Amino acid sequence: MTGNVMTSPVGEMSGTRQTAVPRMRRRRVMNAGDRIFLAIIRSAALVPVLLIILFVGILIAGSMPSLRAFGLRFLFNSEWQPNAEIGEDYGALPFIYGTLFSSVMALLLAAPVGIGVAVFLNEVFTSRLRGAIAFLIEILATIPSIVFGVWAFFVLVPFVRDGIQAHVQAIFGTGFVLFRGPPLGIGLLAGTLVLAVMILPMIVSISLEAIRMVPSSYREAALGLGATRWEMIRLAVLPPARSGLIGACILALGRALGETMAVTMVIGNKNVIRWSLFEPASTISSVVASNFGEAGGDNALMLPSLTELALILFAMTLIVNLVARFLIRRFAGDKAVIA
Amino acid sequence: MVKRFVQVMCASLALVGGWASADVTLNGAGASFPAPMYNKFIEEYTRIKPEVKINYKSVGSGAGIKAISEGTVDFGASDSPMKDEQIKAASGGYIVHIPTVMGGVVPIYNIEGVNKPLNFTGPVLADIFLGKITKWNDPKIAQANAGVTLPDTAITVVHRSDGSGTTAIFTDYLSKVSPEWKAGVGKGSSVKWPADSSIGAPQNDGVANTVQQTKGAIGYVELIYAMSNNISFGAMQNKAGKFVSASMESVSAAAGSLQDIPDDLRISITDAEGDGAYPISGLTWILAYQNQKDAAKGQTLVEFLNWVTTDGQTLAAGQHYAPLPKGLLPKVQAQIKSIKVSQ
């Protein structure tokens, strides 16, 4: 869509696709101001493309020493030894695990709630307060992450420790691997929960837009055929909004993958893979952000390794976006109201 | 190319504005540990000398070393001295190290029912952070704390998750008192923490809050942080065998009692000798090129450094930093004097 808008003036200018008549007309219309404007927006369109190329180029150049030293092993190595005297050794696996585990879990928790809230606000809750609530949710989306971090540290962590972990471990014991761990409250679950809270408003506000775009005639048709309100939502509202809902989830996942401060305050920052909700873990963005400043020194491979982690995070978000496009095309197809 | 361009731009801007001859701006970047102190220095110094403008960016020691090596700042700052290879690799020639103030690192802990300051010996502290001592009622801890009833609580080690000069001083000390730490973990602004029960927290306040919130936790923070937030901390046994609580006097004493101080002042003062010396102490340095290419800037920097290491020292205590001991001053001034300003 956008691609066509961008490229069509170029095609018309060079006259490859257009007949003579519109070209004549165009020439008459194209005065100096138009030409300058066209040049400006054309170079503006180039900026993001150049930025991405530069960005990836710098990341690859910066991580070259680490790519050469560790190769593919970097992806599967769990070591993080920043000591040149003992022998530097870096690996990304625990960070990839921590990032994926916390982000995907957060999405699984937040998506049903977020879409539920959106459906409720648009389909069920008809009070005039609706606008106010939607506005408040958007405000929630603008709260800086450090505020969430402080809240998570002082409220969520004790709650996870005394309110969740204590009970879960009392019921299941500490034998089951998913529930093992010291009674700290700090760990993967706390990181996951704070991420879920942070991405919730985003899911709500985008889902709400998507659901709002579904024509009322769909709802009326469903109700006219004798559908209950639940059937109407299930059959006439959610399917046409599906691509928008998927988009909301993907954007939210993107935010969760890149979130740094709030997570680093509660996740424990330990590069281990222990497959437990109550054990500490570490994420890519937090390890990069917190170690970048001091990464120089005599550790020749530390900065390149951190850069390679950034490259991996970039690749992960790219894959998430590609998967999202695939999903939207696959499931929404031509039936989509919102492209 | 870009740097050249910026230089030309700045020069032409300066010519147009006509303020180049009157005012001098120094840009510095580096260690975050002394940043509050440097900001205070700058505030006071620019009050005395309004024609001077100094900017300091707190970006971390590693980034400070990088910035001065690449010549993107007029002075760098670091909590650990540069290595020989690093100085050789710097773009503008030899770099001198000027100590400015001192700090200490203190162990903090959260043990139910224990309010008295605990005593730690170096090897015991190392064993706790190695994960070899896992309970508070371990006889090794009890040995140095007669009369204190320690509970059967599991120890959770809390360390800095971000690279930090505090960690560098702390691990430098542990490397000196524990061969096992030296061989297995080593020293650095970030290390591979061996204890099974360890967790990382960002910044001093992250460590302090995590310790306060977690029963049985032990961590380490800067002395200035503990003092300005009224956090109680343990005493350390020094090389002379005395248990010393960290204070500005005991930290200064650590540098004062040193015998063979190298002329270039790149020294570690952890585990220092002397009865009153606090063993987990460290210097922090300003890094500057010995050959100053810009005469005005070089002259200003030398004057600023002279002031910081003499009159400026009286400001240290107010900011909870330990001043440089008097005995160190001749060598510091010799280093400042060695800075050559081209005319």
DSSP string across B52-104: EEEEEEE--HHHHHHHHHHTSSSEEEESSPPPHHHHHH-TTS-EEEEEEEEEE
The answer to whether the beta carbons of residues B85 and B237 sit under 8 Å apart is no
Residue A332 DSSP label: I
For residues A196 and A112, give the distance between their C-alpha atoms in angstroms, rounded to a whole number: 11
CATH number for B104-255: choose from 3.40.190.10, 1.20.1250.20, 3.30.70.120, 3.40.640.10. 3.40.190.10
Mean of the per-residue pLDDT values of chain A: 87
The answer to whether the beta carbons of residues B35 and B56 sit under 8 Å apart is yes
For residues A242 and A204, give the distance between their C-alpha atoms in angstroms, rounded to a whole number: 14
Beta-carbon contacts below 8 Å between A and B: 104
Q: What are phi and psi of B305, to 5 degrees?
A: -65, -40
Substitution target in B61, B88, B189, B266 with the highest count of A β-carbons within 10 Å is: B189
CA distances from A255 to A112, A141, B209 (A): 17, 11, 27
Helices (H) and strands (E) in chain B — how many of each? 13, 13
The per-residue pLDDT for A126 is 77
Whether the pLDDT of residue A243 is over 90: the answer is: no
The per-residue pLDDT for B22 is 54
B161, B197, B213: residue with CB nearest A290: B161
The per-residue pLDDT for A296 is 67
The answer to whether the beta carbons of residues A98 and A78 sit under 8 Å apart is no
Q: What is the 3-state secondary structure (H, E, C) of A4-29?
A: HHHHHHHHHHHCCCCCHHHHHHHHHH
A25-29, A105-109, A174-178, B86-90 — most confident range: A105-109
Smallest CA-to-CA distance from B195 within B225, B218, B163 is with B218
Q: What is the 3-state secondary structure (H, E, C) of B103-161?
A: EEEEEEEECCCCCCCCEECHHHHHHHHHCCCCECCCHHHHHCCCCCCCCCCECEEEEEC
Q: Which residue has the tokens 């959770």?
A: B156
The per-residue pLDDT for A293 is 77
Count of beta carbons in the 10 Å neighbourhood of residue B276: 17
Residues in CB range of A104: below 8 A, 6 or more apart: A253
Q: What are phi and psi of B200, to 5 degrees?
A: -105, 145
Helices (H), chain A: 2-14, 20-29, 32-70, 73-76, 93-119, 129-141, 145-151, 157-158, 166-172, 188-212, 216-224, 229-232, 238-258, 261-266, 284-291, 302-327
For residues B8 and B10, give the distance between their C-alpha atoms in angstroms, rounded to a whole number: 5
Asked if B2-103+283-341 and B104-255 have one fold, the answer is yes
Whether the pLDDT of residue A17 is over 50: the answer is: no
- Per-residue tokens: A3: 């691609």
Residues from chain B contacting residue A79 (CB–CB below 8 Å): 192
Please tell me the total number of residues recorded for chain B in this structure.
343
Q: What are phi and psi of B197, to 5 degrees?
A: -95, 10
Closest-approach residue (CA) in chain B for A159: B213
For residues A233 and B285, give the distance between their C-alpha atoms in angstroms, rounded to a whole number: 66
Burial class (CB within 10 angstroms; exposed 0-12, middle 13-18, buried 19+) of B127: buried
Residues from chain A contacting residue B162 (CB–CB below 8 Å): 290-291, 293-294
Q: What are phi and psi of B310, to 5 degrees?
A: -115, -90
Substitution target in B95, B167, B190 with the highest count of A β-carbons within 10 Å is: B190
pLDDT in tens, chain B (343 residues): 455 555 555 455 444 444 444 589 999 999 888 998 999 999 999 999 999 999 999 888 888 998 999 999 999 999 888 988 889 999 999 999 999 999 999 999 999 888 889 999 999 999 999 999 999 999 999 999 998 999 999 999 999 999 888 899 999 999 999 999 999 999 988 999 999 999 999 988 999 999 999 999 999 999 988 888 888 899 999 999 999 999 999 999 998 877 788 899 999 899 998 899 999 999 999 999 999 999 999 999 999 999 999 999 999 988 889 999 888 999 999 999 999 987 6
Of the candidate ranges A8-17, A73-82, A116-125, B3-12, the one whose mean pLDDT is the lowest? A8-17
| Domains along chain A with CATH numbers | 9-70 (no CATH), 74-331 (1.10.3720.10)
Chain B touched by A265 (CB under 8 Å): yes
The answer to whether the beta carbons of residues A44 and A38 sit under 8 Å apart is no
**Radius of gyration (C-alpha) of chain A in whole angstroms:** 25
B185, B193, B199: residue with CB nearest A186: B199
Whether the pLDDT of residue A6 is over 90: the answer is: no
The answer to whether the beta carbons of residues A208 and A122 sit under 8 Å apart is yes
Count of beta carbons in the 10 Å neighbourhood of residue A22: 13
Q: Name the A residues in 126-155 with CB < 8 Å from any B CB.
A: 153-154
**Radius of gyration (C-alpha) of chain B in whole angstroms:** 21
The answer to whether the beta carbons of residues B65 and B242 sit under 8 Å apart is no
Contact A268 B80 (CB under 8 A): no
Smallest CA-to-CA distance from A96 within A270, A336, A284 is with A284
Percent of chain A beyond pLDDT 90?
A: 64
For residues A284 and A96, give the distance between their C-alpha atoms in angstroms, rounded to a whole number: 7
For residues A199 and A254, give the distance between their C-alpha atoms in angstroms, rounded to a whole number: 9
DSSP letters spanning A48-72: HHHHHHHHHHHHHHHHHHHHHHHTT
- Per-residue tokens: A2: 């956008």
CA distance B343 to chain A (A): 33
**pLDDT tens profile A37-61:** 999 999 999 999 999 999 999 999 9
Percent of chain A beyond pLDDT 70?
A: 88
For residues B29 and B42, give the distance between their C-alpha atoms in angstroms, rounded to a whole number: 13
Count of beta carbons in the 10 Å neighbourhood of residue A10: 12
**pLDDT tens profile A131-174:** 888 888 888 888 999 999 999 999 999 999 999 999 999 988 87
The answer to whether the beta carbons of residues B102 and B321 sit under 8 Å apart is yes
User: Is the pTM of the predicted complex or chain greater than 0.90?
Assistant: no
List the end-to-end C-alpha distance of chain A, in Å, as a whole number: 10
For residues A194 and B272, give the distance between their C-alpha atoms in angstroms, rounded to a whole number: 45
Contact B190 A82 (CB under 8 A): yes
Substitution target in A156, A286, A294 with the highest count of B β-carbons within 10 Å is: A294
Domain range annotation of chain B:
2-103+283-341, 104-255
Residue A64's pLDDT band, with cuts at 50, 70 and 90, is very high
> Which residues, listed in sequence order, are joined to residue B236 by a DSSP beta bridge?
B120, B244
The answer to whether the beta carbons of residues A113 and A131 sit under 8 Å apart is no
On whether the B2-103+283-341 domain is CATH 3.40.190.10, my answer is yes
Instruction: Quote ipTM for the complex.
Output: 0.83
- Which helix (H) or strand (E) segment is B307 a member of? helix B295-309
Residues in CB range of B45: below 8 A, 6 or more apart: B52, B54, B304, B307, B308, B312
Contact B191 A269 (CB under 8 A): no
CA distance B68 to chain A (A): 12
Name the pairing type of β-strands B24-30 and B52-58: parallel
Residue A23's pLDDT band, with cuts at 50, 70 and 90, is low
Residues in CB range of B90: below 8 A, 6 or more apart: B68, B69, B289
CA distance A282 to chain B (A): 9
